[in-house]
């Protein structure tokens, strides 16, 4: 706690003082550009990863970056999603999983959680589609390779769960919303984004091939250089 109080003092005397105009503007309302959904894991810092300023991202965090399907639960995730899209007008959603995810480790041995951590057990049931997909399609995987496959599959599961929300389905159909699946590797700082056309995770910058700073040839080379699916 002492460390946190010291940090609070540094924030108030340094960062806040230097950015007083920004916080005055933020006090008048929020206009985030992105809904960022990620894990509660203490090693994940969305603003640090993306170098976003306060007010730029609306963030949902929980164990396993899980968004239950529409009407599956009365938890706060659904309410936060609706608010972000309907009230704040957000047009970009990112679901970000990460390496060494404890929730996904638990999902792979979910039967052991029922007695020791019943709340976690019930929560991870919302990722049952992930567990079944991994069981059926990754039988030859084990260890870290299996865990990473599970984490990446879970991101895709949550993208599908998001599509069950009427407000998201409607915005996607009208082209007013985009959703993205990310995988963050803690030990390297690397982030990969799922490319539906290629059916693999690739560096995020390859999703902007029409931008002036990257040609189709460069995109192809980058995609070939990514060996992780």
98 is in an annotated binding site: yes
DSSP string spanning the chain? Answer: -HHHHHHHHHIIIIIHHHTHHHHHHHTT----SEEEEEE--TT--HHHHHTPPTTSEEEEEETTS--PPTTS--SHHHHHHHIIIIIT---EEEEEEETT-HHHHHHHTGGGHHHH-HHHHHHHGGGHHHHHHHHHH-TT--HHHHHHHHHHHHHHHHHHHHTTSHHHHHHHHTT--EEEEEEE-TTT--EEEEETTTTEEE-GGGGGTTSTT--HHHHHHHHHH----
41 is in an annotated binding site: yes
Helix (H) or strand (E) holding 181: strand 178-184
CA distance 195 to 177: 16
3-state secondary structure of 122: helix
The segments of the chain whose pLDDT lies below 50 read: 209-219, 221-229
Model pLDDT, residue 73: 79
101 is in an annotated binding site: yes
What pTM was estimated for this model as a whole?
0.87
CATH fold of 30-189: Beta-carbonic Anhydrase; Chain A (3.40.1050)
19 is in an annotated binding site: no
CA-angle at 91, arms to 88 and 93, nearest 5°? 100
């Amino acid at each position: 706690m002492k460390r946190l109080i010291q940090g609070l003092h540094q924030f108030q005397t340094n960062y806040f003082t230097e950015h007083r105009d920004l916080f005055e503007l933020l006090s008048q309302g929020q206009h985030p550009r992105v809904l960022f959904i990620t894990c509660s894991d203490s090693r994940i810092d969305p603003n640090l990863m993306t170098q976003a300023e306060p007010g730029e991202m609306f963030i949902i965090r929980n164990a396993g970056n899980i968004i239950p399907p529409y009407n599956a639960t009365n938890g706060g995730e659904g309410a936060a999603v609706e608010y972000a899209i309907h009230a704040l007008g957000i047009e970009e959603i990112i679901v970000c999983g990460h390496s060494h995810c404890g929730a996904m480790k638990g999902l792979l041995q979910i039967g052991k959680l029922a007695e020791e951590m019943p709340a976690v057990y019930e929560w991870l049931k919302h990722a049952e589609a992930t567990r079944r997909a991994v069981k059926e399609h990754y039988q030859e995987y084990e260890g870290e390779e299996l865990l990473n496959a599970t984490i990446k599959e879970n991101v895709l599961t949550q993208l599908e769960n998001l599509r069950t929300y009427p407000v998201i389905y409607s915005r996607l159909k009208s082209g007013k919303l985009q959703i993205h699946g990310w995988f963050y590797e803690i030990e390297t700082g690397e982030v990969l984004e799922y490319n539906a056309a290629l059916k693999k995770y690739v560096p995020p910058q390859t999703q902007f091939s029409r931008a002036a700073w990257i040609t189709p040839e460069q995109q192809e080379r980058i995609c070939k250089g990514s060996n992780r699916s």
